[in-house]
Amino acid sequence: MGRMFSPGSGQTFSASCPAVREQPIFSTRAHVFQIDPNTKKNWVPTSKHAVTVSYFYDSTRNVYRIISLDGSKAIINSTITPNMTFTKTSQKFGQWADSRANTVYGLGFSSEHHLSKFAEKFQEFKEAARLAKEKSQEKMELTSTPSQESAGGDLQSPLTPESINGTDDERTPDVTQNSEPRAEPTQNALPFSHSSAISKHWEAELATLKGNNAKLTAALLESTANVKQWKQQLAAYQEEAERLHKRVTELECVSSQANAVHTHKSELNQTIQELEETLKVKEEEIERLKREIDNARELQEQRDSLTQKLQEVEIRNKDLEGQLSDLEQRLEKSQNEQEAFRNNLKTLLEILDGKIFELTELRDNLAKLLECS
């Protein structure tokens, strides 16, 4: 068997080819299911938990595949073809049918966004596969001749039953020569080098088909190895079913106690209802106390703010009282100075009056002297 690597690690998935050809181009995580091959209705989970589901691209063959691994086991290996359709069956679940694998795959995603993204990529790579197929058909129409097409059919015929999971491109030469007959130049008209290139192309196709054969052989061996495990699981399920059947029988035997259980259940429901009402009252009381606490906190904050403002006012009042006392002292000093000034002025006026009186007497005496002379 070839080696398989985890798609999420960025490494390639290779079966027998030593060269690295396939690269993961988109990865997501989902629960993987397959349709029940017996009923064709029920879904059978193929993974116990969400696993990585990746789109791979083979640049050598222009092939897109959906691959998912659960440990070292490939639970999805589906080649995308132009006639495939991805259907969303719910907000988080989608499915597509793979006729070559003769099954229907289902994916359960964790969200609608992941499902939509996966569906967009499916449509994108489906269109790319269609364009690659058309391009391959055109290339074959330009390079093939009737004799070479016959030779190509001889090369493919031994491997056709084993290339069930191949690509549409691998079957293109046969479809082209059957559906679109046309006049082609004879093989003798082609240069020897061109014929050699065609031979190498068919050798490469043959090697690719052999690689697919090896992959299918490995998958068949792995499926055969899992048959025993499935049988063991089936036996375990049967034992579990018998145990559950016995349990049901026991429950039916004690069904006579159903009335007492029902009465007890009613009492418990009534008690639960009363407790719920009490709890509701307590919750309302708690809400009321919370509101009161919030109001008390607001009042406390207001009180603290007013206390701080009062302290600031008291400090300012003390400053104003100091300024007022200083002004009173200055006013008293000014009044004392004014009183002293008035007293000095009064004394000065008295002296001035005396001087004026003396001058008047002197004038009168002078006048008399003048009259006498």
Res 116 pLDDT > 90:
yes
53 C-beta neighbours (distance < 10 Å), count: 26
b vs e for 245-279, b when ≥16 Cβ sit within 10 Å of the residue's Cβ? eeeeeeeeeeeeeeeeeeeeeeeeeeeeeeeeeee
Res 270 pLDDT > 70:
yes
Render 57-71 in DSSP notation, one character per residue: EETTTTEEEEEEEET
Res 111 pLDDT > 60:
yes
Percent of the chain beyond pLDDT 90? 43
**How many Å apart are CA 188 and CA 194, to the nearest integer?**
11
Q: What are phi and psi of 212, to 5 degrees?
A: -60, -35
Q: What are phi and psi of 248, to 5 degrees?
A: -60, -40
Under the banding of pLDDT at 50, 70 and 90, the label for residue 257 is: low
Stronger pLDDT, 353 or 165, i.e. the higher one: 353
The predicted pLDDT at position 258 comes to 67
Res 173 pLDDT > 50:
no
**For 293-321, what is the HEC assignment?**
HHHHHHHHHHHHHHHHHHHHHHHHHHHHH
**How many Å apart are CA 247 and CA 351, to the nearest integer?**
141
Under the banding of pLDDT at 50, 70 and 90, the label for residue 21 is: low
**How many Å apart are CA 254 and CA 250, to the nearest integer?**
7
Percent of the chain beyond pLDDT 70? 77
Stronger pLDDT, 193 or 278, i.e. the higher one: 278
**How many Å apart are CA 207 and CA 35, to the nearest integer?**
33
Cα–Cα nearest to 2, from 262, 293, 218, 183? 218
**Among 160-164, 282-286, 359-363, whose mean pLDDT is lowest?**
160-164
Cα distances from 41 to residues 31, 36, 95, 97, 250, in angstroms, run 18, 6, 13, 13, 33
The predicted pLDDT at position 129 comes to 87
User: Would you call 153 exposed, middle or buried from its count of C-beta atoms within 10 A (0-12, 13-18, 19+)?
Assistant: middle
Highest-scoring range by mean pLDDT, 5-14, 62-71, 237-246? 62-71
| Cα torsion angle, 208, 212, 213, 214, sign | positive
**How many Å apart are CA 9 and CA 208, to the nearest integer?**
25
The predicted pLDDT at position 256 comes to 56
Cα distances from 276 to residues 197, 262, 270, 272, 288, in angstroms, run 85, 20, 10, 6, 18
pLDDT per residue as tens digits for the range 180-204: 333 333 333 334 455 677 777 788 8
The predicted pLDDT at position 113 comes to 93
DSSP helix/strand/coil, 157: helix
Stronger pLDDT, 17 or 314, i.e. the higher one: 314
Mean pLDDT of all residues belonging to the chain? 78
pLDDT per residue as tens digits for the range 125-170: 999 988 888 887 777 777 654 444 444 444 333 333 333 334 444 3
The predicted pLDDT at position 110 comes to 92
Under the banding of pLDDT at 50, 70 and 90, the label for residue 208 is: confident
DSSP helix/strand/coil, 98: strand
Res 232 pLDDT > 80:
no
- Which pair of structure tokens corresponds to residue 308? 């701080």
Cα distances from 161 to residues 63, 171, 217, 275, 352, in angstroms, run 20, 12, 12, 73, 154
b vs e for 97-118, b when ≥16 Cβ sit within 10 Å of the residue's Cβ? bbeebebbbbbbbeeeebbeeb
The predicted pLDDT at position 254 comes to 64
List helix spans (H) across the chain.
Answer: 112-143, 146-156, 172-179, 192-253, 258-372
* Mean pLDDT calculated for residue range 73-91: 91
b vs e for 59-68, b when ≥16 Cβ sit within 10 Å of the residue's Cβ? eebbbbbbbb
Stronger pLDDT, 191 or 337, i.e. the higher one: 337
* Mean pLDDT calculated for residue range 359-370: 91
The predicted pLDDT at position 1 comes to 39
The predicted pLDDT at position 100 comes to 86
